[in-house]
Amino acid sequence: MLKRLLTFYQVMPQFLDFLYVYGSPHGEDKNLRFSGFRTEKALINPVPGTCIPDMGRSGRRFQICYNLKTVGLKSEQPGKQVDKVWKIRQAAVHHQFDVGSGVQNWIFGDPHAVVKGRIQELFHESREHSSKFGTVEQSLLSSLEIHLALARWATSEWRWNVQSLEEIIDNLTLDIIAIQKSNLDTLDSESLGRVQEWEDKTNETIMVMGSNADILTLLRKFYKELIEDQNFPSCELRACKQAVNDFAFQLDEIIYDTQMQISRAKVLVKIVADRKTILIQHLQAQTALAASKLTASMYDQADRSAMEAIAMRIVTVVTLFYLPATFSSTFFSTDVVKYQDGVKFSGVAFERFLQVTIPLMVVTFLFAGGWFWWEWQKRTRSSMATRDANPDIFPLNEIVSGKVRL
């Protein structure tokens, strides 16, 4: 059916690019970022197949197709942090105007039929509109009114959408940037994710409003160049030129308002970026605070371990010192070495005790020292191998050890 309709009205094929937006099987606008403005103009030497006098087609015509995007309030939830949910919607527009007969055709791609309601407000069915389509001048003026209605529809709600974004972002970020150091534990990565989400939404809003402004600028340029075209009908030129100038003036006002909202949204993006930086700093401070607590606990543990190591070292040294004497005393108390009974002190026995104990102590300390030296050398070689294998981790140690790599 659509193919027959487009063929009957000889619609330019580029209009299909704008209709493909509504082809999503999920009912969502997947090509929301697509925008375009296409024209086709033949004011002289029309193609023979386009000349159908019985249908008011002289073949001298121009065609325009473009899309505009607006925003509407989808739902409202008072009392919540995000109290308003907005939905971006778009409409595809095709317009065809015959400058020879004044006949015009309009085709709108609008799933919500909002554009249809706007057009019905201009040309209500219960009224007589023959005075608006009697001549080429009147027909052109009425088509410009429709373009203005579409432009107002596309730009009327962005002001409130940007204001809603400002309120939502303030609700999300004002408490974060003013948070006390003692309350840093209440922050989490989800806070950063929510702020990033609304920054993305604001950037999307800027992109959509910018595309609207660009399309309206191209629309204004097209009509200004149309009346300057030497092939435009001279009999209607003066009146049409005045109508186009008035149209361009009103369109400039709409474009200016849109640019103001874009500037406002860009400032909001900068504010969000600055506050997001503060939030990241808070999260980093939170991580640093946790790391400092962990470091403090590890230091306490290391301190306790050091005290235990000192105690064990003292015990080891004392044990090592008394070990030979203990062994000698035990040995001399046995029946292997026996002196006269009844003697409380024997100089010979004490001399023999020292002759055995002191060499044993010397041998024990030499053996312990040699063992320690051997283990120390083994550990040093292992440490140097690790440093050589990881020069980026131990640059300072390599410089101290004299192994600087050139």
Amino acid letter, 12 = M
Q: How many Å apart are CA 274 and CA 291, to the nearest integer?
A: 25
DSSP three-state, residue 65: strand
Tokens encoding 348: 């010979």
Cα 12–16–17 angle (5° rounding)?
115
pLDDT at 312 > cutoff 90? no
Choose between 35 and 367: higher pLDDT: 35
Point out the least confidently predicted range of 67-71, 238-242, 276-280, 338-342.
Answer: 338-342
pLDDT of residue 402: 47
Report, as an integer, the average pLDDT of 189-201.
83
| The token pair that represents 361 in the structure block | 């102590």
Instruction: Dig out the tokens for 28 from the structure.
Output: 């969502």
Question: Do residues 262 and 209 make contact, with C-beta atoms less than 8 angstroms apart?
Answer: yes
Report how far residue 121's alpha carbon sits from residue 115's, in angstroms, rounded to the nearest whole number: 10
Q: Is the pLDDT assigned to residue 394 strictly greater than 80? A: no
Higher pLDDT, 170 or 315: 170
Residue % of the chain over a pLDDT of 90: 26
Task: Using DSSP, state whether 87 is helix, strand or coil.
Answer: strand
Q: With 0.85 as the threshold, say if the pTM is over it.
A: no
User: Is the predicted pLDDT of residue 396 greater than 60, yes or no?
Assistant: no
For the chain, what is the mean pLDDT? 80
pLDDT in tens, 213-265: 999 999 999 999 999 988 888 877 888 899 999 999 999 999 999 999 999 99
Return the SS3 of 61: strand
What is the predicted pLDDT for the residue at 212?
95
Tens-digit pLDDT profile for residues 320-341: 777 777 777 776 666 555 555 5
* Element holding 326 (H helix, E strand): helix 237-332
